[in-house]
Structure 1
């Protein structure tokens, strides 16, 4: 039996990493605020769901249904993610110091809250969300039926929606508002591993374990386009009514992400391990790339090109982030080649 080809997932994850860059750079703002709103504030909101859904699919398709074996796989995955998170925290420590993270408002509680939920830099929340969300989804997967798991994860997502894009609809209910205000002392947003991640991880698990109908690629492409259009309408209506507290979570982000995910499984494209690792580091390093591009533009007096022009700023940040990612992946590959030979020499000499 030939090995399944999931190269399409690598490409949409790489695209999702660039969407995150777009979310943080507003590439069309210099040209049209309305167009930039659709791209930077709405379309890019499927980027992290893509990460979660593909992670759920790739992780749960390897489940053996033996709890001990699967727990071992979970520990390995979470340890790998934790190592990446610690590395990212250390990378951004100098920037944290520079931006005043360790100011008078810094406390042991705020540090624990950031490490557990919000991230110690603005994009790093994804990694603890993945760890917590996978832990929750894993135990729902082993303790519940697939249907019950999806329902439970959906209920968590609904609770998250009410603390995010749908927050304003609770203004008339002071009791519920107080509950959410209490929660916001523990974390800043409901787009976290408790409310946000489980549903996308669960859908990924569901897709991995059931026999899906064999549809033509254009069907999934069309369903993706329709769902995205409905998400644009949803987001525009919510924002025009001033309802969102934050704008990470939308109802139509669920079908939009799912149909793009299913469509990508049908793409006949090539990928490799190096390309997959680039995606991870583009996500991790892009805020540093933003700082470098802005700093270089000021030093070279090219602010009009690379700061004021939002599209050129976005392109420059993407290129710098990809370049740094390629360099990191190359250095990691070199270290992997050096370390085994060093150990062999030590063993032979002993």
Structure 2
């Protein structure tokens, strides 16, 4: 019997991939710096938390409280699948890593830097989602199996709040005496709080919550999402006014309720499922993982044409995704990319 399908979620996955590309291209930078900042730091910042929440929901939807061994086997298969995906894409991006180090003057210490990044922040900067998913899922899984849902939500929220203080207020920590030393040590060892320890668990735990509880009605969820999003815009405005907004700011407080209510509403949407939605699900992952391959080259050719680079990146990423999805039956090795 075929499992329940969620058309709205698969459509939103695809849209989220397009928003992730925006984060790395800044399409409106040459048109309006203010609009570009708000667009990136509000709407686009929902994309990765959305992926985490959806990942948590679909993982724990298969959870059986009475089947401990089956749950553990499911967890191990999941972690291995994500790890394999991460290793494959890390190999694909290795020439770009070498390119980066060579352009800056390669040194032996770069090997250790790469090992740190591979574990903490991603083997290439946009791939951080995959190791964060592995670590975050381990934290949520272990916490839930041992302490239950309530403890897991509290732990995940505490980790996120710690990460929020590190991530959002980084410009302040860099200026404070003594604190700047501790912050410098943190960045040298962990790189960023946007990882599987601080960032991932809360959104995966929200996915767990959605998997173990009943849905709110669509209208109530979307109203709550709209209120949360307005508050997110206000939060971002506050950080801009305080002069602490910077490129890597992403762990905003209102992202948590906004993402929760958004996913809750999308899960409650009922619409006929079509095969195209499954293809969009595959496309979203392939666009997410592959788009930087094209961004780097396009910006070399068109350094000041952000909007053009954005649409060209989408076209090339979608073409790549279509070739993989269509070719995976004939060439099964391509299944390793998704």
When normalised by structure 2's length, the TM-score is 0.89
* Residue aligning to 1:293: 298
SS in 1 for 2:325: helix
* Structure 1 residue 292 displacement after superposition: 4.1
* Residue aligning to 1:348: none
> Does the alignment pair 1:325 with 2:316?
no
Contact 2:56 2:207 in 1 (8 A): yes
What are the Cα deviations for residues 297-333 of structure 1, in whole angstroms up to 9, with x where unaligned?
x3xxxx4xxx544333212211111111111222322
Correspondence 1:1-350 to 2 at 5 A: 3-65=3-65, 66-100=67-101, 103-104=106-107, 106-168=109-171, 178-213=181-216, 215=217, 217-244=218-245, 246-267=248-269, 268=271, 270-272=273-275, 273-294=278-299, 298=301, 303=302, 308-336=304-332
Contact 2:135 2:196 in 1 (8 A): yes
Contact 2:19 2:44 in 1 (8 A): yes
Change (3 A) 1:226 1:124: same
CA separation in 1, counterparts of 2:118 and 2:45?
22
Gap regions ≥5 residues in structure 1: 340-350
C-alpha RMSD over aligned residues: 2.5
Which has the higher Rg, Structure 1 or Structure 2? Answer: 1
CA separation in 2, counterparts of 1:186 and 1:269?
48
What are the Cα deviations for residues 73-131 of structure 1, in whole angstroms up to 9, with x where unaligned?
11101111111111111111122222226821644432221111111211011110000
SS in 1 for 2:167: coil
Change (3 A) 1:3 1:168: same
Change (3 A) 1:271 1:96: farther
Contact 2:324 2:334 in 1 (8 A): no
SS in 2 for 1:125: helix
What are the Cα deviations for residues 237-281 of structure 1, in whole angstroms up to 9, with x where unaligned?
112212356301000001111111112113325354332211111
Task: Identify the range of structure 1 (1-10 vs 70-79) with the bigger mean alpha-carbon deviation.
Answer: 1-10
Contact 1:57 1:204 in 2 (8 A): yes
Higher relative contact order (CA 8 A, sep 6+): 2
CA separation in 1, counterparts of 2:333 and 2:238?
54
SS in 2 for 1:333: coil
* Structure 1 residue 190 displacement after superposition: 0.1
CA separation in 1, counterparts of 2:112 and 2:99?
21
Contact 1:27 1:40 in 2 (8 A): no
CA separation in 2, counterparts of 1:147 and 1:168?
34
Question: How many residue pairs were aligned?
Answer: 328
